[in-house]
Amino acid sequence: MIRRLLTLALAAATVSLSGCGYNTLQRTDEQIKAAWAEVVNQYQRRSDLIPNLVNTVKGFAAQEQQVLLGVTNARAKVGTIQATPELLNDPQAFTRFQQAQGELSSALSRLMVVVERYPELKSNQNFLDLQAQLEGTENRITVARNRYIKAVQEYNVVVRSFPSNLTAMLFGFKEKPQFTVENEKEISRAPKVDFSGPQPAPQSPVPATK
């Protein structure tokens, strides 16, 4: 009799706890998916700009093959990663995504350093248009990432907190991976594309002495 009462009490407690926090878990999980979709969308926007950007730079600085190839290869690496919502449940896959995007940011930064050497490129209208689009996209990436970070923070707190952590365990809700400190450093070094300030005139080569 006592065992039966304990079983019933345990069943009632399980049902009660399953409702505690379940709706919050569902809501915050959906917020993460929406925030992640926007992150991926903005990264894709950047990726779509790169072929035209590389071709434009190549038209003025064809000799910079190593830098141009670095951007192209980094973009190709990003394209091999399927950034689906399922990736958010795989910390290793999420880390690979971060690393690939960080490498692309670094490659773009090196490309922009090269651009500084070519004043005629910086005055090209096609490049100026691409520059403006890239700058706007980098800003949107930052905003989208911040929204994702906040959504994950809210969700992970629910997953770890009592009694909603019991509901999370019961229904298989697990903590989501977050952008790492190292990746934040990569983003802080995202390409600077503002060439509106005065630029130094190119120096004439010094004639060799006989």
Phi, psi of 105 (to 5 degrees): -60, -45
Confidence of residue 210 (pLDDT cuts 50, 70, 90): very low
Which pLDDT does position 85 carry in this prediction? 87
Q: What is the pTM of this model?
A: 0.77
Which pLDDT does position 179 carry in this prediction? 86
pLDDT in tens, 5-39: 444 344 444 544 545 589 999 999 999 999 999 99
pLDDT in tens, 76-126: 999 999 888 889 999 999 999 999 999 999 999 999 999 999 999 999 999
The DSSP letter of residue 194 is -
The maximal CA–CA distance of the chain, rounded, in angstroms, is 110
pLDDT in tens, 181-191: 555 545 444 44
CA angle 108, 110, 112 (to 5 degrees): 70
Mean pLDDT calculated for residue range 36-53: 96
Number of domains composing the chain: 1
**Is 9 within a domain?**
no
Which pLDDT does position 100 carry in this prediction? 95
Give the contacts of 5 (CB within 8 A, at least 6 positions apart): none
**Is 203 within a domain?**
no
- Which residue shows structure tokens 């990264």? 43
Domain holding 110, by residue range, is: 21-188
**Is 206 within a domain?**
no
Angle between helices 91-115 and 65-79 (to 10 degrees): 160
**Is 12 within a domain?**
no
Confidence of residue 2 (pLDDT cuts 50, 70, 90): low
**Is 131 within a domain?**
yes
Which pLDDT does position 198 carry in this prediction? 38
Integer Cα distance of 140 and 46 in angstroms: 10
Supply the CATH number for residue 98's domain: 1.20.1440.20
* Torsion sign across C-alpha atoms 189, 195, 197, 200: positive
Q: What is the DSSP string of 70-91?
A: HHHHHHHHHHTS---GGGGG-H
**Is 195 within a domain?**
no
Integer Cα distance of 150 and 140 in angstroms: 16
